[in-house]
Chains A and B, each alone.
Chain A
Amino acid sequence: MFDQLSDRLQSTLSDVRSRGKLSEGDIDSAMRDIRLALLEADVNFKVVKAFTKTLKERCLGAEVMDSLDPGQQVVKIVNEELADLMGGEGVELTMASSGPTVILMAGLQGSGKTTACAKLASYFKKQRKDVALAACDVYRPAAVEQLVTMGQRAGAHVYEKGTDADPVDIATWALERAREERRDVLVIDTAGRLHIDQDLMKELSRIRDKTKPDDVLLVVDAMTGQDAVGVAESFAEAAEFDGVVMTKLDGDARGGAALSVKAVTGKPIMFASTGEKIEDFDRFHPDRMAQRILGMGDVLTLIEKAESQVDEKSAEELEEKLKKDQFTLEDFLTQMKQVRKMGPLSGIIGMLPGMGAMKELKNANIDERQLDRTEAIILSMTPAERHDPTLIKGRRRKRIADGSGTKVQEVRALVKQFDQMRVMMRSMANGKMPDPQKLMRMSGQVPKPKVRRR
């Protein structure tokens, strides 16, 4: 579904790229595809409309039309605008100057509040804070038990009064206890509620009034569709939330909903939950999300290229190395480590310049252990070998294999693969887009792609 769109967008953009001059018609057709891609990512219709309008105005402006390479400028503008839409800089939580910092969590049913509470507790725990949780979801069967269990896993204390007490009373009582027990942070879990449920929304504002939280966070499921905006507006009214926790980002949802929430309410996305485990939770990085929404290897490649041409300094070194064919396994390792730090691994190969064009690597499921092995192999090489892999022959190869706990064949495969990649990247750095056909053939020659296909 999305592939089709991203393919279209990619072909539109590379089509646009290949021309010296762009007509208004070219821009229009690119805008149409971008609009579709955003809608498929569940970005709110109105946000998309406004977004493509701004985008079009900029694209028709002098900075593109007078540029030597208008296509790349278009790609760059798309990226910039998207990152901007998402709220360029991250925002910090407000921490109380004295007494416990109170964080109130709200959201629809099933958005992942209870889990997010525990994850947030664990996040604070890592900062050596004494965290407590208040179980105010008295409606859903067994919600209290869930919070107690998850709180234990997170190492947080849980204040609960079963399901017979009033949520507002539980919240105020929990706050008193947290003060007495000198906790650093109190996270209040509330029942999931529909934003049109007046009674429950009133209850939420009462909890807010009584506990005066330092931060109110709205938990939004990354898979939410067009309705996210209406939901956020209602919650903004009742709970005046300060930021958003986006959950279930480990799926393949593009998270356009959360993006729309930012665009419409101006409230930033503060945290993202990216996995089943309690530690799969972290601060949100808008830039990473921009890439995710675009979610396309080739477009990303193009963006990197566009950026590198415009902002010479940042990528100058790498660029030089590529041009002069000095890109070494050392650089490869650094790059790989950087990329791996960025989070989910699927699609990472697509982010390496040039690799994204390989169809078969797209949607590939990357086996983390394979990457570990690749790292191990490179780490087992001497600096000289990393700089000049041609040195790696029989005995050296054996030594590297032994050192990294891999097989000689794997070492050979890595070196061969690296060689081919370097050739490809050199040609790209010199301004030539490799012929896709040729790339496909090349990828066929790659001994064994380090991916496990779905």
Chain B
Amino acid sequence: MIDLGSREPMNVAPLEEEAEPERKRGVFRRLRESLSKSRQALAEEITASVFEKIDDETWELLEEALILADVGAPTTAAVVEKLEHEVDSGAIPAEGEPIRARLIEILAEVASTARAKIDLSAQPAVLMMVGVNGTGKTTTIGKIAWHLSKEFGLSVVMGAGDTYRAAAAEQLAEWAKRAGAELVRGQAGADPGSVAYDAVSAGVARNADVVIVDTAGRLHTQDNLMEELAKVRRVIGKLIPDAPHETLISIDATTGQNGLRQAKVFSEAVQVDGVVITKLDGTAKGGIALAISSELGIPVKLIGVGEKLEDLRPFDPGEYAAALLSE
């Protein structure tokens, strides 16, 4: 999941692969549970029995379920059309279980894109976090820092680039303390570019493994703020030519179709490499992830399924697709 380049993880198990099976199961059980908690989810649950009798109503029901999961009309239409076509043409048997299995496959295909790894192979690797207000940027990078530092034994420098929101730096400081990471911060209202510059220079000076730069939440419609973000990126790029090596956008799972605009506009401003879907532990299914990967080709890389540190997980398209439909 995370490309560490030549660096060897110094201690403990990496994030995913070698985690004990029990814990892994626990996490996905939790993901599934959380995805199905709402009454709504139960009402529109797509089980194999839905496909026992296939007629227009079946496809309508499926459409409804996907739209209610925020997958969005165009992607929903494409998925349903594809499945319907395959069933009609006899490519897959018109029986409940095979159709359901194929549906999960199609959804997983939609959710998968190339370059799904988080690239932290450079030294120091610079990771920049962007996104709309309140989507969970600071919390997410706090968790990322914790994983990198506590599980991979990497040295992490965090830059409190959110100089706008009151107490944002304090929030990050709290996370830096928990993760044992170094925090670089500026004055409230300071230029975020200068904070990013200081953080990255500190990372270079101390030969840190990873520098994580937080930014203030901003609406993608505010051109001046988007320009400011582009400037932060340029400032970082001046210190290390390829940096930031990884730019992630956090998108709240409850976000509707506007998430597509967010991903698109942020990507235009700062070349987003991946999406973090946060707050998936609610009843929202975060179907916007499918819309973003299918319409924009930006991969989802991480998901947040709870408030605990280990609840920040790598994104697995197959598991996600299954959870989207399962009980």
Residue A1 lies at the interface, judged by CB distance under 8 Å to chain B: yes
Range for the number of chain B residues in contact with chain A = 35 or more
A residues near B70, Cβ cutoff 8 Å = 42, 225-227
B residues near A365, Cβ cutoff 8 Å = 223
CB–CB B256/A225 < 8 A: yes
SS of A interface (majority): loop
**From residue A273, how far is it (CB to closest CB) to chain B in Å?**
11
Which 3 pairs, one residue from A and one from B, show the smallest C-beta to C-beta distance?
A225-B256, A110-B134, A42-B256
CB–CB A196/B256 < 8 A: no
**From residue A217, how far is it (CB to closest CB) to chain B in Å?**
17
CB–CB A250/B133 < 8 A: no
A120–B291 CA distance with the chains assembled, in angstroms: 35
CB–CB A221/B252 < 8 A: yes
CB–CB A146/B258 < 8 A: no
Interface positions, chain B 150-177, Cβ under 8 Å from A, are 164-168, 170-171, 173-175
CB–CB A223/B259 < 8 A: yes
Interface positions, chain A 198-257, Cβ under 8 Å from B, are 221-231, 248, 250-254, 256-257
**From residue B322, how far is it (CB to closest CB) to chain A in Å?**
19
Chain B 213-235 interface 0/1 with A at a Cβ cutoff of 8 Å (1 = within): 00000011111000000000000
A330–B262 CA distance with the chains assembled, in angstroms: 40
Q: List 7 A-B contacts (CB under 8 A).
A: A1-B257, A39-B257, A149-B167, A195-B283, A248-B132, A252-B258, A257-B256
A223–B255 CA distance with the chains assembled, in angstroms: 5
Residue B242 lies at the interface, judged by CB distance under 8 Å to chain A: no
Instruction: List A residues at the B interface (Cβ < 8 Å).
Output: 1-2, 36, 39-42, 44-45, 108-112, 140-146, 148-150, 153, 194-196, 221-231, 248, 250-254, 256-257, 276, 365, 454
A365–B167 CA distance with the chains assembled, in angstroms: 32
A392–B148 CA distance with the chains assembled, in angstroms: 70
**From residue B292, how far is it (CB to closest CB) to chain A in Å?**
11
Selected contact of A109 from candidates B73, B136, B167, B256, CB within 8 Å: B136
CB–CB A225/B284 < 8 A: yes
Selected contact of A227 from candidates B164, B261, B262, B284, CB within 8 Å: B284
With A1-B261, A142-B170, A251-B220 already in contact, the answer to whether A36 and B73 are too (CB < 8 A) is yes
Most B CB contacts (10 A, CB to CB) among A109, A195, A196 go to A109
**From residue A92, how far is it (CB to closest CB) to chain B in Å?**
28
B residues near A153, Cβ cutoff 8 Å = 166
A230–B262 CA distance with the chains assembled, in angstroms: 23
CB–CB B254/A42 < 8 A: no
B residues near A140, Cβ cutoff 8 Å = 171
A108–B67 CA distance with the chains assembled, in angstroms: 21
A36 and chain B: residue at smallest CB distance? B73
With A221-B134, A257-B256 already in contact, the answer to whether A142 and B67 are too (CB < 8 A) is no
A140–B166 CA distance with the chains assembled, in angstroms: 13
With A110-B136, A112-B134, A248-B219 already in contact, the answer to whether A146 and B282 are too (CB < 8 A) is no
CB–CB A196/B38 < 8 A: yes
Residue B324 lies at the interface, judged by CB distance under 8 Å to chain A: no
A residues near B187, Cβ cutoff 8 Å = none
Residue B285 lies at the interface, judged by CB distance under 8 Å to chain A: yes
A residues near B252, Cβ cutoff 8 Å = 110, 221, 223
Residue B310 lies at the interface, judged by CB distance under 8 Å to chain A: no
Interface positions, chain B 261-285, Cβ under 8 Å from A, are 261-262, 279, 281-285
Taking A110-B133, A226-B256, A230-B40 as known contacts, 18 extra A-B pairs with beta carbons closer than 8 A to each other, sorted by chain A number, are A1-B260, A45-B64, A108-B254, A110-B135, A141-B174, A141-B175, A143-B167, A145-B166, A150-B166, A196-B282, A196-B283, A222-B258, A223-B262, A225-B254, A227-B284, A229-B40, A251-B219, A252-B220
Interface positions, chain B 74-103, Cβ under 8 Å from A, are 74
A111–B285 CA distance with the chains assembled, in angstroms: 17
Residue B68 lies at the interface, judged by CB distance under 8 Å to chain A: yes
A223–B67 CA distance with the chains assembled, in angstroms: 15
B residues near A229, Cβ cutoff 8 Å = 40
CB–CB B221/A250 < 8 A: yes
Interface positions, chain B 176-221, Cβ under 8 Å from A, are 219-221
